[in-house]
Amino acid sequence: MDVLVCLKRVPLAGSTFLLTPDSRDINTEFLGFGISPHEENAVEAGVQLVEQMGGTLTLLTLGPTEAEEQLRSQLAIGATRGILLETDGEDWDPQATAAALVDAINAEETKFDLILFGAESADSAGYQIHIRVAHALSRPIVTNVKTMKIENGIAQCERAVGSVRELYETTLPAVITVRDGLNIPRYPSVPGRIQARKKPIDHKKPESHVPKLEKVSLSVAPSNSTGAQILGNGVDAVPALVDVLRTIGVLA
Amino acid sequence: MILVLIDHDRGELDALSLRALTAARKLSDEVHAVVIGSAGAGLSTIVGEYGASVLHVAHHDGLTDYTPAASGRALVQLVSTLKPEAVLAAGTPRGNEQLAHLATILDLPMAAECSEITLGNPHTVVRARWAANLMEQALVHSELLIATVLAFAVEAEPSPVSSVVQDFDAVLEPIDLLVRILGRGGEAAKSGASLADAKVIVSGGRGVGGPEAFSLLEELASLLDGAVGCSRVVTSSGWRPHAEQVGQTGTKVAPDLYIAAGISGAMQHIAGCKNSKTIVVINTDPEAPILAYADYAIIGDLHKVLPALTEAIKATKG
């Protein structure tokens, strides 16, 4: 079983955001970097599948040179090798990103049985790269998967969106996007980290494209609230809360 | 003309689609709606009330449940005959996904989760990033605009017109139906009201401490004809079903009253509840991040405050 997991290097942002002076990006001067949360589940799923069934786990990312850090840290979990599609650090729009990923996948000798993505990226949230990749490779796709069972070339996936859970089945090769709750991502072991330093990473320079979805600038979303009014401490504050519920019409 | 995808689950309307209809009416006087699957035909009256003069219904034996690839294919077919200026849908996981298939087949850009849309050449949009903590001003270089409308960014406003139904047979490719549904359901919400429709939500986080104490939240919710919600850690710990999870990765809600008990307020949770009209926090930690988004707070132990609140409300109801 040959598995490919697509990753994205993203800043580990807290709850407040500082922007660069030109307002085009987040100011990452004081931030660390990681991968999008659901992608950790995708890597874990890939490692488990290769442990059970043999084969290889390849990691693919498009990003700046520094994205090698994210590939190394996930290689330490148990992936076989990495492919880094190096950019100049600018955002690539979804169509350009998907096209670069597809070119890289098609250039591989390995025909991946399963291509995994996280359900959404933490930063740009475009909700489309996985779909564009699936179409370009003429593969079926199941998204937002929370449980996954793979047997005899068939994937059974439970999709959880809102209040509905649906069980889907598809044949491999396929593209599947997974979300948190699928598994518990492991921490890298010390031997894992040491081995990861020697694992191969291919560096490629994809052809850049003119963006069709073109970012102009970012702004911090206004908060609806200016901070909570403290009604008091403990049960003594309950009468004040009952008054609030009357004022907003929840209580008559 | 603007075409709006009206999402439904076996004929049951996704109410956020009506907000997309209102967003469409702000762009054009002529709005058409489309439903995928025969079960959606019953929605013609409601889409007419919200301004769609035509409801296109895509029919195919394979379109009984959620089949996003097939939706994309049927939309391509309709777009090629109707030639709309834009195709919109609600910015939900399903809305985003179905329009992404449309955009992919047509090899056009798609702008997901837009709070503002201005048609032009190029089109300009404001779209959500980072769980709607950051807004991106962007240009869309494409004649046909394909975009989804950020949940709760637009209020649904009635604008009644007489609506006619136009049926068409979807012509699908084998790959569109390669993903088969085997079953559904399994884990429904425990409380009566559904999260998406509830006017009051009593939501619990790690601070609740375990599944048993959720009875305190259930009692208060039922007293207020509301629903119980929870944070991600609660569903990950198996205390409550996934259907009750509020957040970027769960359900996005906008009730009149959201009570957050024992929830610190991770970014992805805030993204799911910040459109609530009033947010009340009950938390032992006066520094919890959620206080920055809340309207009122009681600093205290929810295990004491919730029962006292329940008793006080019972007293007012006599």
Amino acid identity, position B59 = H
| CB atoms closer than 10 angstroms to residue A137 | 18
How large is the average pLDDT for residues B32-46? 97
Q: How far is CA B76 from CA A175, B35, B69, B291, in A?
A: 22, 13, 11, 45
What whole-number distance in Å separates Cα of residue B264 and Cα of residue B262? 6
Average pLDDT value for chain A: 93
Residues from chain A that touch B117, judged by Cβ atoms under 8 A, are: none
Q: Which fold has domain A2-204?
A: Rossmann fold (3.40.50)
With an 8 Å Cβ cutoff, are B275 and A224 in contact? yes
Residue in A135, A169, A234 closest to B105 by CB? A135
The least confident of A27-31, A92-96, B5-9, B14-18 is A27-31
What whole-number distance in Å separates Cα of residue A209 and Cα of residue A207? 7
Average pLDDT value for chain B: 93
Residue A224 pLDDT level (bands cut at 50, 70, 90)? low
Interface test with A, best of B9, B177, B178, B181 (most A CBs within 10 A): B178
The least confident of A91-95, A222-226, B115-119, B213-217 is A222-226
Residue in A14, A169, A241 closest to B309 by CB? A241
In the 3-class helix/strand/coil scheme, how is chain B assigned residue by residue?
CEEEECCEECCEECCHHHHHHHHHHCCCCCEEEEEECHHHHHHHHHHHHCCCCEEEEEECCCCCCCCHHHHHHHHHHHHHHHCCCEEEEEECHHHHHHHHHHHHHHCCCCEEEEEEEECCCCEEEEEEECCCCEEEEEEECCCCEEEEEECCCCCCCCCCCCCEEEEEECCCCHHHHCCEEEEECCCCCCCCCCCCCCCEEEEECHHHCCCCCHHHHHHHHHHCCCEEEECHHHHHCCCCCHHHEECCCCECCCCCEEEEECCCCCHHHHHHHCCCCEEEEEECCCCCHHHHCCCEEEECCHHHHHHHHHHHHHHHCC
How large is the average pLDDT for residues B70-80? 98
pLDDT digits (tens, 9 = 90+) for B295-304: 999 999 999 9
With an 8 Å Cβ cutoff, are B298 and A237 in contact? yes
Q: How far is A27 from chain B (nearest CA, A)?
A: 13
Report phi then psi at B238, rounded to 5: 80, 15
With an 8 Å Cβ cutoff, are A223 and B94 in contact? no
Domain spans, chain B: 2-177, 200-316
The pLDDT score that the predictor gives to residue A89 is: 85
Residues from chain A that touch B138, judged by Cβ atoms under 8 A, are: 213-216
pLDDT above 70 for A162? no
Residue B247 pLDDT level (bands cut at 50, 70, 90)? confident
pLDDT digits (tens, 9 = 90+) for B83-113: 999 999 999 999 999 999 999 999 999 999 9
For chain A positions 203-242, those within 8 Å of chain B (CB to CB) are 210-221, 223-225, 227-235, 237-239, 241-242
Residues from chain A that touch B185, judged by Cβ atoms under 8 A, are: 164-165
CB B119 within 8 A of CB B27: yes
More confident residue, B106 or A225: B106
Q: pTM to 2 decimals?
A: 0.90
What whole-number distance in Å separates Cα of residue B298 and Cα of residue B198? 23
Which helix or strand (DSSP H or E) is residue A40 part of?
helix A37-53
With an 8 Å Cβ cutoff, are A141 and B69 in contact? yes
Which residues have a Cβ under 8 Å from the Cβ of B29 and sit 6 or more positions away?
Answer: none
pLDDT above 60 for B305? yes
pLDDT digits (tens, 9 = 90+) for B270-302: 988 988 999 999 999 999 989 988 999 999 999
Residues from chain B that touch A92, judged by Cβ atoms under 8 A, are: none
Same-fold call for B2-177 versus B200-316: yes
Interface test with A, best of B113, B246, B251, B296 (most A CBs within 10 A): B296
By the 10 Å C-beta count (0-12 exposed, 13-18 middle, 19+ buried), A200 is classed as exposed
Q: How far is B84 from chain A (nearest CA, A)?
A: 19
pLDDT above 60 for B259? yes
Q: How far is CA B267 from CA A116, B231, B232, B271, in A?
A: 25, 11, 11, 6
More confident residue, B68 or A166: B68
Q: How far is A199 from chain B (nearest CA, A)?
A: 32
Residue in A14, A216, A228 closest to B291 by CB? A228
Residue in A216, A228, A237 closest to B295 by CB? A228
With an 8 Å Cβ cutoff, are B96 and A127 in contact? yes
Domain spans, chain A: 2-204
More confident residue, B285 or A122: B285
Q: Which fold has domain B200-316?
A: Rossmann fold (3.40.50)
The pLDDT score that the predictor gives to residue A225 is: 67
The pLDDT score that the predictor gives to residue B188 is: 47
Return the bridge partners of B33, or none: B4, B55
pLDDT digits (tens, 9 = 90+) for A52-109: 999 999 999 999 999 999 999 999 999 999 999 999 888 899 999 999 999 999 999 9
More confident residue, B130 or A44: A44
Residue in A13, A228, A239 closest to B312 by CB? A239
Q: What is the torsion angle, in degrees rounded to the nearest 10, for the CA atoms of residue B69, residue B75, residue B81 and residue B83?
A: -130
Tell which CATH architecture fits domain B2-177: 3-Layer(aba) Sandwich (3.40)
Report phi then psi at B225, rounded to 5: 50, 40
Q: How far is A206 from chain B (nearest CA, A)?
A: 19
CB B55 within 8 A of CB B164: yes
How large is the average pLDDT for residues B113-128? 97
What whole-number distance in Å separates Cα of residue B201 and Cα of residue B261? 11
How large is the average pLDDT for residues B8-26? 94
pLDDT above 80 for B133? yes
CB B145 within 8 A of CB B123: yes
Q: How far is A62 from chain B (nearest CA, A)?
A: 19
Return the bridge partners of B147, or none: B88, B111
The pLDDT score that the predictor gives to residue B191 is: 45
pLDDT digits (tens, 9 = 90+) for B152-209: 889 999 999 999 999 999 999 999 999 988 887 654 444 445 787 889 999 999 999 9
The pLDDT score that the predictor gives to residue A195 is: 94
In percent, how much of chain B has pLDDT > 70? 97
